[in-house]
Amino acid sequence: MPPIKLAIADDHKIFREGLKALLGDYPQVRVQLEAASGRQLLDSLPQQPVDVVLMDISMPGLDGLQATRQVLAQHPGTRVLALSMYDEDKYLVDMMKAGARGYLLKSAEPDEIMVAIGDVHHKGFYFNESLSTTLVKQLLGQSPVAPPPEADLNERETAVLQLLCQEYSNAEIADRLFLSVRTVEGYRTRLFEKIGARNIVGLVIYAVKKGLIRV
């Protein structure tokens, strides 16, 4: 399996160099691109496409929130993992609403960073203690995302949704429901379209509001 191609977007060169050194011990990833700002990242991605962007929030000019939105609009196959010094819920919520697939603190251990990168790339999202039950409830209270009346899910779509919200990968869902991975991917795509969600948090919000999962 080829290594996951990474971009590190952070305005602190020392942090970028340190993170590169840490990730150098893991052959399953390769740092392909470094950027000191959101603008530099966007300018470089067409020539150096990556699988996952490790995105800082606070950067000069185009910050992490703005850069995340633009990366996803211009490179929809790229996934963003927020890597920030801020542990306040507000920053986590803002980044997830912008389309990030996970959120880590810069103080995270290298093994946790690797797990997060792998989950974001292979599963499509990464949950940890930061995205807690309390935060999901906060999102439910703050988010304007409400399932449209026509977003009526059939039994199989509901089963796939429930497993996605429990952090199962496409392959694991396929095994549990006796489906092919390609079929699960199709269900996943339709769920995002039907529900109108941009990321897994939107799916969780929908599932909670519909009483399909409990928090």
Which residue, chain included where needed, has tokens 């890597």? 83
**What is the mean predicted confidence (pLDDT) over 16-20?**
92
> What Å distances lie between residue 52 and 28, 71, 115, 127, CA to CA?
13, 11, 13, 16
26-49 core/surface letters (b: 16 or more CB in 10 A; e: else): beebebbbbbbbbbbbbebbeeee
Judge contact between 93 and 135, C-beta under 8 A: yes
pTM: 0.66
Instruction: Please choose, from the candidates 91, 109, 104, the residue with its C-alpha nearest in 3D space to the C-alpha of residue 53.
Output: 104
- Residue ranges and CATH numbers for the domains of the chain are 4-128 (3.40.50.2300), 137-209 (1.10.10.10)
pLDDT at 79 over 90: yes
**pLDDT confidence of residue 144:** 47
**pLDDT confidence of residue 147:** 44
- What is the number of alpha carbons within 13 Å of residue 71 lying toward its C-beta? 36
Helix (H, G, I), strand (E, B) or coil at 84: strand
**pLDDT confidence of residue 46:** 95
Chain mean position to CA 134: 19
Rg (CA), the chain: 17
